[in-house]
């Protein structure tokens, strides 16, 4: 089974304004303070102009242009970007956290760990029965970006 999600996580008001500005689907609440805005290729194309310049290893979408946008958007509040890419038990995940126009974590890619570390910086705490921050915030509910969008 695979897992392939690309998304922003931030305060719902930040993501709602961004989604409206770029005619995207609505973000989904994860907690009272955090929402997820899942992003497909066509969503990313709506606000990133080609040609894209990639400087980050392993990430599929994290271009220089997207990094610049995340820096700007984080002036409104702390923002997390993440990607997962697993198939048949192989692959990895990456995350970055932006705050006040600066990057405060990452971008980091590994087999496991970056997403939980990034979520911890957003204030996500683990409470049983959750095993980690990923599960605590409900990111395990959908294994692909489309699954999240269908819920929007």
- Which contacts (CB < 8 Å, 24+ apart) does range 119-122 have? 119/9, 119/80, 121/78, 121/80, 121/97, 122/9, 122/34, 122/78, 122/80, 122/97
Helix (H, G, I), strand (E, B) or coil at 152: coil
Q: How high is the pLDDT of residue 151? A: 78
Asked whether the beta carbons of 14 and 27 are under 8 A apart, the reply is no
Cα(68)–Cα(26) distance, integer angstroms: 22
The tens-digit pLDDT sequence of the chain (152 residues) is 677 889 999 999 999 999 999 999 999 999 999 999 999 989 998 888 776 677 777 888 898 899 999 999 999 999 999 999 887 778 899 999 999 999 999 999 999 999 999 999 999 999 999 999 999 999 988 878 888 888 76
Q: Go through 9-44 and write b for each residue having 16 or more CB atoms within 10 A of its CB, e for each that does not.
A: bbbbebbbebbeeeebbebbebeeebbbbbbbeebb
């Amino acid at each position: 089974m695979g897992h392939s999600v690309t998304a922003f996580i931030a305060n719902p008001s930040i993501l709602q304004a961004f989604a409206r500005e770029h005619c995207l689907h609505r973000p989904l609440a994860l907690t009272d303070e955090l929402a997820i805005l899942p992003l497909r290729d066509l969503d990313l194309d709506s606000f990133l102009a080609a040609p894209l310049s990639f400087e980050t290893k392993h990430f599929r979408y994290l271009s220089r242009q997207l990094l610049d946008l995340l820096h700007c958007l984080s002036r409104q509040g702390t923002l997390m970007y993440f990607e997962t890419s697993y198939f048949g038990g192989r692959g990895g995940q990456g995350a970055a956290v932006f705050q006040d126009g600066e990057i405060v974590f990452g971008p980091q890619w590994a087999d496991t760990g970056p997403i939980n570390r990034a979520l911890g910086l957003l204030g996500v705490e683990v409470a049983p029965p959750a095993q980690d921050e990923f599960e605590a915030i409900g990111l395990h509910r959908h294994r692909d970006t489309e699954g999240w969008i269908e819920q929007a």
